[in-house]
């Protein structure tokens, strides 16, 4: 960090970097410049940063309790000065629930990414590097999971594991690793026979070492893009589970479950379902914009696919 | 890839699909007997039913029995509907296919022109707007949009019909032939029924259409960008061909092959991904059928449904793959 | 063309897909159901069979009630009044064990076959021999597969004799004979459709008594015939022109499976259906406010409760059990979550049932609950879980309960699940707390007493798994007292026993009784004579007409 503050643009963009560090920082800087030139991507970043802040400060900024409501006094109130987004069927403040729900959303997204991405990476790189039977078996397993209807598989896992947000995370992770494995395998196949890997192999590195130290890092940038783009999908799947009644446990303010709850009142108290839906939309859009921008920035060849 | 190897791959995938679903079904903490005998049944009735269903056998034995049945074309009976599973699926699957087909049609008819437009005007406001429309399609919870659409177009404006496929009024005047109601009503020349069926399908199909539009327009844009940077386009321009002609007759035609693949994949996605839409619109399709069955531990139905969806997925992927291989000059030469 | 349009109007594109298609669809105007057909929207996904020997579900009960005659029925307006349906008269022997019924002459099944005592006997024997879930309603009178041919038989074409193993309260026996398993099936027709089975040690009969066929077919003599049933979609009743009584005014009754209350309301408001059967409190309000629509309601024999598993040491303390009863905000729940669809009821008998105790000893009283918790040695509270089905109103009630428990220091975790899932756990006694409902199987207080205050054997492998058993509430005295009520011939004394049971139940049981269901229906003003019955098989749609 200290380096970054004292560096100049020229140093970063130098054609002949003096050190590995300089080269890396230079690349990062170029990427950032490309990224920040994309206003939509910046908007996405802003949404995600806002989400992080809201989640971090949930206790401070939420005007009411997210779980305690007044059944008799404040049930299904329309948006107003006291309750900006109205109240729900249990008399709870919807805004406060949305604010606290942001934590759950982050929790799900981050955890799924942490579980699924490394699993996919491992399976993909091992399959791609080893080839032969290992590859065939691992890819068969990947195909089986890919052939499943995703939401139904997640539903089945939640049903088997029992309800709760942790199990929902696990179920979504189980259904989302196969594409990562595919990507990682494809990347591995392209570098497997490269001179660089051949050189490492000649130096006597073990296959495990090659995979972990030399192949995995090469796959990471495309994986990060893919994971960011998948974040929205993860949020939507989690919300879908919540909507079908298998996700968070009441009274947790999970957004999908809030929509499901608001569904009962959709005709007369539309705001109960509208607010959490809008929240999901905004956050997913944020992740999508961010992922999109990242991809363009990291992969200029893609021409902004 | 040789035919033999391909068959082995498909067979193992199926077997894996079956095994995973089967064992999930057995560890789900729901007693399938309950769905049959109800909560009030005396203990001895429950025990007897469990035995009749073969649930007392070891898991592996149950699985073998099941697989054996499947090979003989017997997918068992659904506990919930009491029908053979395949009979149920024959009834519900056309509903899903009809919805997904119309959805894909809408998505392709709007998505492709949008994508072309975005590519042609790359970097412009138009391009950005198309991009945002697409991203919103990726980001919106479809069940939520469905609820709001029902609220606005059915409850408030009364422009469309409500949930379900057809009004009860037609229940005894309209007899389906193929199970694809729109087609059936045309075949029967029953225009009143056609209007009603259309009024029912238009909302969910538009939603799914939007969903696939998002995907199709993005991919179209990128394929078009790729084509537009090719040398033959420059040559065409040099020859003085009109821009419209260059775009539609040359670039888009060359982008058509990957596009068809994308549309096929998006179609597969809609077929398997309409669980939530079907729930919101009470659409009696396969997604709803599987979800209902799952919640009742009606595993024969879940297994049957999963196999059908899995087959469709494998089939369409294969189709897309083959199409790509046979039509695309680059892969053909490679 | 397309391009130009898109260029100019991006903002409308979102709705565009729907809108452009709509132009072709046109706006479906206010629909109307056919004049000779009644269309109801109802969650009928619980129906798994149309066989009266097996059918035990709420919505199936209504179909049975409209399509199958039985010996006797009770008057929905006054359940204590039992009248002959196909029985012209009946007598009870002096020892109270033999019931002799005379069948009305000249009755015909929908098939055209005559209705005789032989059909009645066959129907009862069939239920006992098939031994499906509801069979206990008849076998509790001592009928077994071996003796049923003797104890339920036709002595001639118009006389049916029913013999019980001991003297029961005659009201009890007759009440049970009004229930679905006592429905009369067309013997001749059923026998045409039997399938052969191989007799085994457990099943000594060589045929299935038409079980496979009757699952999806109809063989009755009631006012309506069951014409068609597609699971989770639709069920159609049609007028039976062979019915002995007044013919149904409408030619057809169609039940359409619709789960959501909001959807039902929309369909009702737009005239797609005549009657909506699963309206939530909110939608009910809207329907009552609509001048084109009407609302009808009736208290039902279903009670909702929270139960505490006595296997949990803390929950087994008597003071803790009582404390929970003071931690439900009965008033608020009554005014909001169950408004219109239920009434607070703190005993296990539903209102309107013989012996119902009309007092509500409990209110929300956190201070009192805290005292009780202190007396139990847990003044600081504790943590428990509750299994809750993810449907309303139970989820809402659970959340409200969770809040009031928190005030007394009890931390309750809600474990949501699908109905079958929570039930599986509950039946295995693996829960801490459970919120659920119980509906009467037949219109007699014993139906509920037999499950709430009776637990003959508290062992894990007991054969009788009553609600008391499911919560491991070991109560030999109450079980004996419950039993004494069914053999009490004197109605007044019988009532006294039930009053006493309810008192002890309120003071000691691990059940927090919350409310009794009120069934409601919203309907179009054109619908005449639609009345909800107290039990599911007494909602008679065949009486409905439209103008």
Does an H or E element contain C38, and which?
Answer: strand C37-42
| CATH 3.10.105.10 domain span(s) along chain C | 299-518
Label residue C16 by pLDDT band (50, 70, 90).
very low
The stretch C387-411 carries a mean pLDDT of: 91
Residues B328, A40: Cα–Cα separation, whole Å = 34
Residues C336, A18: Cα–Cα separation, whole Å = 73
Label residue C97 by pLDDT band (50, 70, 90).
very high
Pick C262's closest partner by Cβ from A68, A162, A266: A266
pLDDT at residue C80 in the model: 83
Residue C85, classed as helix, strand or coil, is: coil
Beta strands C411-417 and C98-103, pairing class: unpaired
More confident residue, A20 or C477: C477
pLDDT at residue C26 in the model: 43
Beta carbons of B28 and A159 less than 8 Å apart? yes
Mutate: best of A66, A77, A250, A263, partner C, most C CBs <10 A: A250
pLDDT at residue C22 in the model: 43
Beta carbons of B151 and A302 less than 8 Å apart? no
Number of domains in chain A: 1
pLDDT (tens digit per residue) in B277-303: 998 888 889 988 888 888 777 888 888
CATH number at residue A166: 1.10.3720.10
**Chain C neighbors of B41, CB-CB under 8 A:** 56, 132-133
Q: Is the CB of residue A237 less than 8 Å away from at least one CB of chain B? A: no
More confident residue, C381 or A218: C381
More confident residue, C498 or A24: C498
**Chain C neighbors of B127, CB-CB under 8 A:** none
| CATH 3.40.190.10 domain span(s) along chain C | 31-67+222-292+525-546
Query: For residue A284, is it within any domain?
Result: yes
Pick A148's closest partner by Cβ from B139, B221, B306: B306
According to DSSP, residue A305 is labeled -
CA distance, residue A213 to nearest chain B CA (Å): 32
The stretch C286-299 carries a mean pLDDT of: 93
* pLDDT of B204 strictly over 90: yes
pLDDT at residue B62 in the model: 86
**Chain A neighbors of C283, CB-CB under 8 A:** 267
CA distance, residue B14 to nearest chain C CA (Å): 28
Label residue A304 by pLDDT band (50, 70, 90).
very low
The stretch C293-299 carries a mean pLDDT of: 94
List C342's β-bridge partners, or say none. C517
Report the percentage of chain C scoring pLDDT > 70: 94
The stretch C454-471 carries a mean pLDDT of: 90
CA C335 to each of CA A272, B287, C515: distance values in angstroms, whole numbers, following the listed order: 20, 38, 12
Among the residue ranges A99-103, A176-180, C13-17, C152-156, the one predicted with the least confidence is C13-17
Query: For residue A253, is it within any domain?
Result: yes
Beta carbons of B24 and A263 less than 8 Å apart? no
Class of domain C68-187 (CATH, top level): alpha beta
pLDDT at residue B295 in the model: 77
3-state DSSP of B147-208: HHHHHHHHHHCCCCCCCCCCCHHHHHCCCCCCCCHHHHHHHCCCHHHHHHHHHHHHHHHHHH
Residue with tokens 């595993």: B299
pLDDT at residue A53 in the model: 95
**Chain B neighbors of C39, CB-CB under 8 A:** 168
* pLDDT of A2 strictly over 70: no
Beta carbons of C133 and B155 less than 8 Å apart? no
The residue in chain A having the minimum alpha-carbon distance to the alpha carbon of residue B23 is A160
Structure tokens at A284: 């997913």
Pick A140's closest partner by Cβ from B13, B24, B219: B13
pLDDT at residue C17 in the model: 43
CA distance, residue C433 to nearest chain B CA (Å): 17
List C224's β-bridge partners, or say none. C239
CB atoms inside a 10 Å sphere around CB A151: 24
Report angle CA C32, C34, C35 to the nearest 5 degrees.
Answer: 105
According to DSSP, residue C378 is labeled -
pLDDT at residue A186 in the model: 87
Label residue B76 by pLDDT band (50, 70, 90).
confident
Label residue C210 by pLDDT band (50, 70, 90).
very high
**CATH number assigned to the domain covering C31-67+222-292+525-546:** 3.40.190.10
pLDDT at residue C236 in the model: 94
**Chain C neighbors of A249, CB-CB under 8 A:** 413-416
The stretch C496-504 carries a mean pLDDT of: 94
Instruction: Pinpoint the alpha helices (H) of C316-414.
Output: 318-325, 330-335, 366-375, 394-407
pLDDT at residue C31 in the model: 63
pLDDT at residue C7 in the model: 39
Q: Could you tell me the residue range of the domain that residue A267 belongs to?
A: 50-63+87-298
pTM, rounded to two decimals: 0.85
Selected residues 203-232 of chain B with any CB under 8 Å from a CB in chain A:
218-219, 221-222, 225-226, 229
Beta carbons of B135 and A266 less than 8 Å apart? no
Beta carbons of A147 and B9 less than 8 Å apart? no
Query: For residue A42, is it within any domain?
Result: no
Residue with tokens 């059909």: C119
Average pLDDT, chain A: 85
The residue in chain C having the minimum alpha-carbon distance to the alpha carbon of residue B163 is C263
The stretch C187-193 carries a mean pLDDT of: 95
Residues C531, C296: Cα–Cα separation, whole Å = 7
Residues A244, A263: Cα–Cα separation, whole Å = 11
Q: Say if residues B318 and B261 touch (Cβ distance below 8 Å).
A: no
Contacting chains of B (3 CB pairs or more, <8 Å) are: A, C
Q: Say if residues C528 and C544 touch (Cβ distance below 8 Å).
A: yes
Structure tokens at C272: 């797609």
CA distance, residue C288 to nearest chain A CA (Å): 14
Residues B37, B47: Cα–Cα separation, whole Å = 10
Label residue C23 by pLDDT band (50, 70, 90).
very low
The stretch A33-44 carries a mean pLDDT of: 85
Q: Say if residues C84 and C121 touch (Cβ distance below 8 Å).
A: no
Q: Say if residues C264 and C279 touch (Cβ distance below 8 Å).
A: yes
The stretch C389-407 carries a mean pLDDT of: 91
Residues C391, C263: Cα–Cα separation, whole Å = 16
The stretch B196-208 carries a mean pLDDT of: 93
pLDDT (tens digit per residue) in C320-332: 999 999 999 999 9
pLDDT at residue A1 in the model: 45
Q: Is the CB of residue A68 less than 8 Å away from at least one CB of chain C? A: yes
**Chain A neighbors of B143, CB-CB under 8 A:** 240, 243, 259
The stretch B122-135 carries a mean pLDDT of: 88
Report the percentage of chain B scoring pLDDT > 90: 17
Beta carbons of C399 and A90 less than 8 Å apart? yes
Among the residue ranges A265-269, C186-190, C372-376, C408-412, the one predicted with the least confidence is A265-269
Q: Is the CB of residue C423 less than 8 Å away from at least one CB of chain A? A: no
Among the residue ranges A51-55, A163-167, C491-495, the one predicted with the least confidence is A163-167
Beta carbons of B147 and A143 less than 8 Å apart? no
| CATH 3.90.76.10 domain span(s) along chain C | 68-187
The stretch A21-25 carries a mean pLDDT of: 79
* pLDDT of C357 strictly over 60: yes
Residues C16, C19: Cα–Cα separation, whole Å = 5
Residues 6+ apart with CB under 8 A from C52: C64, C68, C123, C127, C180, C181, C183, C185, C220
| Superfamily in which the C299-518 domain is placed by CATH | Dipeptide-binding Protein; Domain 3 (3.10.105.10)
């Amino acid at each position: 960090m200290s380096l970054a503050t004292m560096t100049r643009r020229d140093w970063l963009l130098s054609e002949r970097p003096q050190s590995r560090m300089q080269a890396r920082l230079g690349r990062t800087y170029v990427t950032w410049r490309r990224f920040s030139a994309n206003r939509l991507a910046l908007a996405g970043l802003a949404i995600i940063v806002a989400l992080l802040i809201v989640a971090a400060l949930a206790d401070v900024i939420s005007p009411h309790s997210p779980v305690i409501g007044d059944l008799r006094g404040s049930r299904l109130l329309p948006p107003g000065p006291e309750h900006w987004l109205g109240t729900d069927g249990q008399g709870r403040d919807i805004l406060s629930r949305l604010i606290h729900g942001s934590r759950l959303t982050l929790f799900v997204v981050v955890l799924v990414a942490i579980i699924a991405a490394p699993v996919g990476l491992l399976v993909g790189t091992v399959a791609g590097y080893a080839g032969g039977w290992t590859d065939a078996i691992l890819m068969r397993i990947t195909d089986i999971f890919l052939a499943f209807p995703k939401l139904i598989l997640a539903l089945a896992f939640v049903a088997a594991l029992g309800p709760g947000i942790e199990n929902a995370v696990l179920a979504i992770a189980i259904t989302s690793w196969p594409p990562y494995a595919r990507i990682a395998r494809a990347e591995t196949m392209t570098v497997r026979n490269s001179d660089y890997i051949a050189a490492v192999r000649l130096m006597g590195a073990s296959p495990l070492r090659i995979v972990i130290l030399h192949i995995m890092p090469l796959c990471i940038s495309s994986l990060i893009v893919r994971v960011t783009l998948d974040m929205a999908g993860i949020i939507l799947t989690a919300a879908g589970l919540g909507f079908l009644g298998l996700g968070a446990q009441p009274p947790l303010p999970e957004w999908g479950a809030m929509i499901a709850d608001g569904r009962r009142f959709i005709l007369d108290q539309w705001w109960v379902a509208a607010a959490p839906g809008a929240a999901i939309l905004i956050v997913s859009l944020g992740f999508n914009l961010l992922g999109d921008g990242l991809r363009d920035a990291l992969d200029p060849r893609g021409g902004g696919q | 890839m040789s035919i033999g190897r391909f068959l082995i791959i498909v067979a193992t995938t199926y077997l894996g699909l079956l095994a995973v679903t089967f064992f999930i079904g057995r560890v789900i903490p729901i007693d399938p007997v309950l769905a049959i005998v109800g909560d009030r049944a005396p203990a001895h009735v429950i025990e007897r039913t469990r035995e009749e269903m073969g649930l007392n056998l070891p898991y592996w034995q149950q699985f073998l029995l099941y697989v054996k049945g499947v090979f003989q074309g017997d997918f068992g009976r659904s506990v919930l509907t009491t029908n053979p599973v395949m009979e149920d699926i024959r009834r519900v699957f056309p509903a899903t296919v009809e919805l997904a087909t119309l959805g894909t049609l809408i998505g392709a008819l709007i998505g492709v022109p949008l994508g072309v437009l975005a590519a042609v005007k790359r970097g412009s406001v138009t391009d950005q707007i198309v991009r945002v429309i697409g991203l919103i399609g990726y980001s919106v919870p479809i069940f939520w949009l469905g609820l709001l659409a029902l609220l606005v177009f059915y409850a408030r404006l009364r422009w469309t019909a409500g949930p379900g496929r057809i009004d009860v009024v037609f229940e005894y005047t309209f007899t389906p032939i193929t199970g694809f109601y729109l087609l059936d009503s045309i075949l029967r020349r029953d225009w009143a029924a056609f209007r009603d069926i259309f009024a029912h399908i238009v909302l969910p199909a538009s939603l799914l259409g939007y969903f696939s539009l998002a995907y199709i327009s993005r991919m179209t844009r990128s394929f078009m960008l790729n084509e537009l940077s090719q040398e033959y386009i420059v040559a065409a321009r040099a020859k003085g061909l009109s821009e419209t002609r260059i775009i539609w007759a040359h670039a888009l035609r060359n982008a058509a092959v990957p596009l068809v693949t994308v549309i096929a994949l998006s179609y597969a996605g809609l077929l398997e991904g309409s669980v939530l839409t079907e729930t919101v619109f009470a659409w009696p399709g396969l997604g709803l059928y599987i979800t209902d069955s799952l919640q009742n531990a009606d595993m024969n139905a879940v297994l049957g449904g999963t196999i059908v969806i899995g087959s469709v997925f494998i089939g369409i992927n294969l189709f897309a793959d083959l199409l790509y291989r046979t039509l695309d000059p680059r892969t053909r030469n490679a | 063309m397309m391009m130009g349009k898109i260029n100019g109007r991006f903002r409308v594109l979102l709705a565009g897909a729907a809108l452009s298609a709509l132009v072709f669809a046109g706006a479906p105007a206010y629909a109307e159901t056919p004049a000779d057909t009644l269309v109801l929207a109802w969650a009928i996904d619980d129906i798994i069979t149309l066989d009266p020997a097996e059918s035990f579900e709420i919505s199936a009960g209504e179909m049975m009630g409209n399509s199958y005659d039985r010996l006797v029925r009770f008057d929905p307006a006054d359940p204590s009044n039992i009248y002959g349906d196909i029985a012209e008269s009946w007598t009870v022997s002096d020892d109270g064990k033999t019931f002799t019924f005379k069948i009305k002459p000249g009755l015909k099944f929908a098939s055209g076959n005559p209705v005789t005592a032989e059909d009645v006997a066959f129907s009862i024997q069939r239920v006992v021999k098939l031994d499906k879930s509801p069979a206990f309603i008849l076998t509790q009178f001592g009928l077994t597969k071996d003796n049923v041919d003797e104890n339920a038989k036709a002595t001639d074409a118009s006389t049916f004799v029913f013999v019980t193993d001991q003297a029961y309260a005659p009201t009890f026996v007759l009440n049970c004979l009004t229930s679905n398993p006592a429905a009369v099936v067309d013997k001749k027709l059923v026998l045409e459709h039997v399938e052969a089975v191989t007799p085994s040690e457990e099943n000594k009969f060589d045929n299935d008594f038409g079980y496979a066929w009757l699952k999806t077919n109809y063989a009755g003599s009631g006012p309506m015939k069951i014409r068609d049933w597609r699971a989770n979609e639709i069920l159609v009743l049609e007028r039976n022109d062979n019915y002995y009584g007044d013919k149904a005014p409408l030619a057809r009754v169609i039940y359409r499976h619709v789960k959501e209350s909001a959807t039902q309301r929309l369909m009702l408001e737009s005239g797609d259906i005549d009657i909506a059967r699963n309206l939530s409190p909110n939608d009910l309000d809207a329907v009552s406010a609509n001048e084109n629509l009407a609302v009808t309601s009736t208290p039902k024999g279903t009670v909702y409760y929270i139960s505490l598993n006595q296997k949990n040491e803390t929950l087994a303390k008597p003071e803790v059990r009582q404390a929970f009863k003071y931690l439900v905000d009965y008033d608020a729940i009554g005014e909001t979550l169950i408004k219109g669809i239920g009434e607070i009821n703190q005993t296990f008998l539903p209102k309107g049932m013989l012996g119902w105790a009309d007092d509500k000893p409990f209110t929300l009283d956190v201070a009192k609950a805290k005292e009780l918790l202190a007396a139990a040695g847990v003044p600081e509270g504790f943590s428990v879980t509750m299994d809750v089905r993810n449907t309303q109103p139970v989820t809402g009630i659970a959340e409200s309960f969770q809040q009031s428990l928190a005030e007394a220091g009890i931390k309750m975790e809600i474990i949501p699940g699908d109905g079958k899932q929570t039930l599986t756990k509950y039946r295995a006694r693996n829960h801490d707390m459970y919120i659920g409902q119980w509906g009467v199987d037949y219109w007699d207080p014993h139906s509920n007493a037999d499950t709430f205050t009776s637990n003959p054997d508290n062992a894990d492998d007991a054969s009788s798994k009553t609600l008391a058993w499911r919560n491991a509430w070991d109560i030999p005295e109450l079980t004996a007292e419950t039993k004494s009520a069914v053999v009490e011939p004197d109605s007044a004394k019988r009532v006294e026993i039930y009053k006493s049971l309810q008192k002890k139940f309120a003071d000691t049981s691990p059940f927090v009784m919350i409310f009794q269901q009120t069934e409601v229906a919203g309907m179009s003003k054109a619908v005449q004579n639609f009345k909800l019955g107290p039990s599911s098989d007494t909602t008679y749609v065949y009486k409905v007409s439209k103008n």
